[in-house]
Amino acid sequence: MEFAYIPSPSRGVVDLGPIPLRGYAFCIIIGVFVAVWLGNKRWVARGGQPGTVADISVWAVPFGLVGGRLYHVITDYQLYFGDGRDWVDAFKIWEGGLGIWGAIAFGAVGAWIGCRRRGIPLPAWADALAPGIAFAQAIGRWGNWFNQELYGRETDVPWALKITSSDDGRVPGTYHPTFLYESLWCIGVALLVIWADRRFKLGHGRAFALYVASYCVGRFWIEYMRVDDAHEFLGLRLNNWTALLVFLLAVVYLVLSARLRPGREEIVEPVPGGGAPSSDEGEAEGETSDALSKAGVKKADLDKAGSDGGAESAAKG
């Protein structure tokens, strides 16, 4: 007898008056807002201008949605093409089906375009967005719960997900809630990136690389638990191989970036109406002020004396 389980919603549509809003789309929208909100706070804390994150997201989000859908359709083409399938369904993004790998890759292209237009470095912007993206994924995964999809093997654990739908080959029963596992993992990834960024002052894209690497670790074992149809190679699902490859690339980037460009960017965005002083100028001015203070001379008095001397010379001339 089942004493506890996670129930599935009877329908995946939330009615806002006369407007039907699918739960999957709702989760994606909320996730995007959270990512932009947190990214903006982190960007401003790094010295950037308010609103820049949102402006670049106007480019990144549409590119990411297109890329995520393309990856899903290409890797699961049997769901949309062939006997008994309608290729028009490939465009119905609201019914679910976004590949995070394609979303991040194409989203990066859109972000690069936006960053070029604003004259700011893409790695710095990506570092600011990294934990927000992880939180957005955590929220977005609940869209799979609304659609009763992407669950794991059968189980009778108290937190099992109860599937009630028999559409598209589903078999009603209780299964591992892999959507919940990935949601919780993404929250942990976001917190890890925030902590590491504060502790080690990550810069030049290393916070984003840490997000990518740590996400891939969780995605690998979660993907291994799933039972939905997927292409396999050498006994592993395609997404397992993708997670492994992307993990290795992220780790290589972390190591090389730390060696070639240690530290963090001093300036992440040009100041409107004029540039900020360089770090060398700031250090020189600070050293001069310290020396004057030790000598008992105030810099303001020195500036005033110089101004008076200049005026006197002009009068004599």
Apex 77 CA angle, 75 and 83, nearest 5: 160
pLDDT tens digits, 112-134: 999 999 999 999 999 999 999 99
Q: What span, in angstroms and rounded, lies between the C-alpha atoms of 272 and 282?
A: 19
pLDDT tens digits, 52-93: 999 999 999 999 999 998 988 888 877 788 777 777 778 777
273: pLDDT confidence band, cut at 50, 70 and 90? low
Question: Residues 202, 210: contact at Cβ < 8 Å?
Answer: yes
CB atoms within 10 A of CB 152: 21
Q: Kindly state the tokens that stand for 121.
A: 């470095």
pLDDT of residue 224: 83
Phi, psi of 50 (to 5 degrees): -60, 140
Q: What span, in angstroms and rounded, lies between the C-alpha atoms of 269 and 241?
A: 37
Choose among 254, 127, 267: nearest CA to 203.
Answer: 127
The rounded mean pLDDT for the chain is: 83
pLDDT of residue 312: 43
Q: What is the pTM of this model?
A: 0.81
With tokens 């976001």, the residue in question is 190
With tokens 């001339």, the residue in question is 317
pLDDT of residue 283: 39
CB atoms within 10 A of CB 107: 25
The average pLDDT across 100-122 equals 93
